[in-house]
Amino acid sequence: MAACEGTTLCGADSILEPLSFPEFEAGGPSASSLLQRPSDELLVCLFCSESVPLLQKDALLRHMLLDHKLVIADVKLIINLPGYMVYWKGRFLEQPVTDFCSVIKTNSTGPVETQENYFLLCDVLPEDRLLRERLQLKRLEEVLEQQQKEREDCYFSHICLFCSEEFTGNRASLLNPHGQKKKLVQGLGARNPNICVMQ
C-alpha cells in the first residue's frame, strides 16, 4: 500500500495488507502483529533447523523442494507464512508427512532407482484449507481493527497536502470541509486512513 517503500516489503503478493503501520512509543503497549516488518520475521523449515528471513522465502522453499522434496501449493495466497510454517512443523512432528500431503512419484514408468517421491501440501486437505482461511480471517480482523483506530484517532496532526494549513483532530476534518473549499473529491474521510503518507 502507500505506506510501503517497496512492493516486496509489504507483501504485495498477499491478498490483504495493513492500511498503515501505527506509530508507538518504545515503552508503550505491546505492538500487534501489524507492526512487525516482514524482515523481522523468520521462516523455519518444516523438517530441519534451517531458517531464513521472510524476505528470503524463495530460498527456504527451494531448500524444502531440493532437500526434503516438499512443495507448498499457492504460497503467494498464504497471508501469514511464518505462522503457517510453524503450524505445519508441529503437525509433521506428530504424524508422518504422508498423512497430510499428496505423494507425487516422478519417473513412474522408469526403473525404481530413478523414481522419487515428492510431497504436495495444498488446500485440498481440509485442515490446510481451514488453516489458510483462519490466518486470512485473523489478518482481516487486524486490518479492520487498525482502520477503526485510525477513524477514531482524535490526535491526528498533519499539514494540508495543498497549502501550509495544519489540521489536528480527526482525519475527516482534513478531507471534508477543506477538500470542499479546494474543490477536491477524495471520498469519505472515514475511508481515507492513509492521509499521513500522502505527501
pTM beyond cutoff 0.95? no
Specify burial of residue 55 (Cβ count, 10 A radius: 0-12, 13-18, 19+).
middle
Cα dist from 167 to 66, 90, 176, 177, whole Å: 56, 50, 12, 11
What is the rounded distance in angstroms from the CA atom of residue 193 to the CA atom of residue 166? 17
Determine the average pLDDT of the residues in 131-158.
88
pLDDT band at 89 (very low <50, low <70, confident <90, very high): very high
More confident residue, 23 or 120: 120
- Residue 194: the pLDDT is 54
Determine the average pLDDT of the residues in 112-116.
86
Domains in the chain: boundaries: 34-129+136-145, 156-197
Listed range (23-27, 76-80, 152-156) with the worst mean pLDDT = 23-27
Determine the average pLDDT of the residues in 39-54.
89
The contacts of residue 20 (CB under 8 Å, 6+ apart) are: 1, 2, 3, 146, 150, 193, 194, 196, 197
